Amino acid sequence: MTQTTDKNRVLIFDTTLRDGEQSPGATMTHAEKLEIAALLDEMGVDIIEAGFPIASEGDFKAVSEIAKNSVNSVICGLARAQLPDIDRCWEAVKHAAQPRIHTFIGTSPLHRAIPNLSQDEMAERIHETVTHARNLCDNVQWSPMDATRTEWDYLARVVEIAIKAGASTINIPDTVGYTAPVESAELIRRLIAEVPGADEVIFATHCHNDLGMATANSLAAVAGGARQIECTINGLGERAGNTALEEVVMALKVRHDIMPWHTNVDTTKIMNISRRVATVSGFPVQFNKAVVGKNAFAHESGIHQDGMLKNVETFEIMRPEDVGLTESNLVMGKHSGRAALRDKLKHLGFEVGENQLKDVFVRFKELADRKKEVYDDDIVALMRAGEDPENDHIKLKSLRVVCGTSGPQSADMVLEIGGSEQKTEQTGDGPVDAAFNAVKALFPHSARLQLYQVHAVTEGTDAQATVSVRLEEDGRVVTGQSADTDTVVASVKAYIHALNRLVVRRAKSAPGEDRREISYKDVS
């Protein structure tokens, strides 16, 4: 059971793989989930909510394998207040050295109306399901969904029922980001003071960011007595997202003078996992995002730069190295050798074997020949773009585009599809549209383009473009990413990456492997 005798210790409960993945289009592959879980485990996250096992066979397998591979973290699965859900959850997490069942039910008037349960009927359901979970696992967490809009008397009543039934953690979700800091603190404080048995369990807070107050609400809840914060990397999640792990962890570290609480998270690993989650989810981090945004440690105004030169503390309250950020200096070029590249990759958080290093080195040399200056961010983008897709059914062999202010924009393309080369020339509303039309002509499909984003990795006209593409077909959502100094080439490679993933999804025969069979949006 994840308890602590340190009254000032705040447990970090990461739900990137469950609530974060619910963000439309953020679906991760099985291998990506395992990788993110390993990074979370390594950085000192106390509890990892690995998924919703009954949602699909894919979710079940991911949670089960994460549980088997966990080293330090508690591995938690989510379950609705239904016995089959809880049984399925236990089957998935029981392999963990430290398993947890997290069960929930919506307690606000709006949510009680969905299953059409009276207050008494719901109270009975809570007692039955928490008791059942506790009989399977000695570490049970219970959540009253939409707690911040639940009547006080009823919330206190059901929290007491859950505690008596055996829940060791009571999570108070602000499911729709409705509350404010003063309310968040008072709600936790009052529950601990007035509910029998509340002083014997851990209270947690789970805040959404609809009004931009998720971090403030979470920290306020800690001030009120909560000792577990539920959060996600980069604040990934439904609608406006969840509490961002990096924000609450760094806030507690930087302002320890007024917030005397601490976590077990190794903050130097924050930047690496932030970049990785952004890549696998297809959700780039906004430039001015707190802690992990590209501009978080950038200073452009003359006053700021002058102050920084004289004393870095003038305009920086934390050091870049505190979150694992290295300064983007020109330290690599076309004359750099493999040993230098391996050392740089290790410094950036990448451990590569000989075969992978050989492949990366070839692509690095190609990039160095095209770019005047190679920065750390270029190398990170190179690594991400070079990751093997789930299969290579479709490969780009050649591309030539014609664009300009007059005449039709066209793309002359050769693809290798299933080992056979095919060629076409298509027109479109711009070079990217023409190139995408060419791909679709050679590989017909009904997938709808949900997202197309382009970001410059560094500055300059020779900067690499990182492109993210999201496709949807028959409920299957896939993402693809790539980077290249040629924006059109990067776009086509990202599109093909997504299509290759779609080919894999189509080939899977297990029902529910690729799409969720249960609607569980806004479960907490």
Q: Tens digit of pLDDT for each residue in 190-224?
A: 999 999 999 999 999 999 999 999 999 999 999 99
Write down the CATH superfamily of domain 394-507.
Alpha-isopropylmalate synthase LeuA, regulatory domain (3.30.160.270)
Residue 153 — pLDDT band, cuts 50, 70, 90? Answer: very high
- pLDDT at 523 > cutoff 70: no
Q: Indicate the helix (H) or strand (E) that contains 222.
A: helix 214-224
| pLDDT at 291 (0 to 100) | 95
Lowest average pLDDT, out of 43-47, 439-443, 456-460, 492-496, goes to 456-460
Cα(158)–Cα(153) distance, integer angstroms: 9
The Cα 216–Cα 328 span in angstroms is: 31
Indicate the pLDDT class of residue 4, thresholds 50, 70 and 90. low
What is the reported pLDDT for 402? 94
Contact 360, 378 (CB under 8 A): no
What would the two tokens of residue 45 be?
Answer: 């996250």
- Alpha carbons 335 and 332: distance in angstroms, whole number: 8
Q: What is the mean pLDDT of the chain?
A: 88
| 58-62, 151-155, 363-367, 416-420: range with lowest mean pLDDT | 363-367
At 385, the pLDDT band (50, 70, 90 cuts) reads: low
How large is the C-alpha radius of gyration of the chain? Answer: 25
Considering only 29-43, 159-173, 506-520, which range has the smallest mean pLDDT?
506-520
Asked if residue 71 has pLDDT above 90, the reply is yes
What percent of the chain stands above pLDDT 90? 63
Is residue 65 helix, strand or coil?
helix
Report whether pLDDT(322) > 50.
Answer: yes
Residue 148, class by beta-carbon neighbours within 10 Å (0-12 exposed, 13-18 middle, 19+ buried)? buried
pLDDT at 460 over 60: yes
CA 364 to CA 72: how far, in whole Å? 35
CATH topology of domain 11-281: TIM Barrel (3.20.20)
* DSSP H helices in 282-353: 302-310, 338-347
Confidence of residue 172 (pLDDT cuts 50, 70, 90): very high
Which residues are part of a known binding site?
Answer: 19, 206, 208, 242
Domain ranges of the chain: 11-281, 302-385, 394-507
From the CB of residue 145, how many other CB atoms can be counted at a distance below 10 Å? 23
Q: Per the structure block, which two tokens stand in for 73?
A: 């973290």
Question: At residue 305, does pLDDT exceed 50?
Answer: no
pTM of the model: 0.83
Please enumerate, by residue number, every residue annotated as part of a binding site for Mn(2+): 19, 206, 208, 242
| Integer angstrom CA distances of residue 383 from 292, 341, 370 | 19, 12, 17
Task: Please state, for a pLDDT cut of 70, what percent of the chain lies above it.
Answer: 89
Hey, do 11-281 and 394-507 end up sharing a CATH topology, with the first three levels equal? no
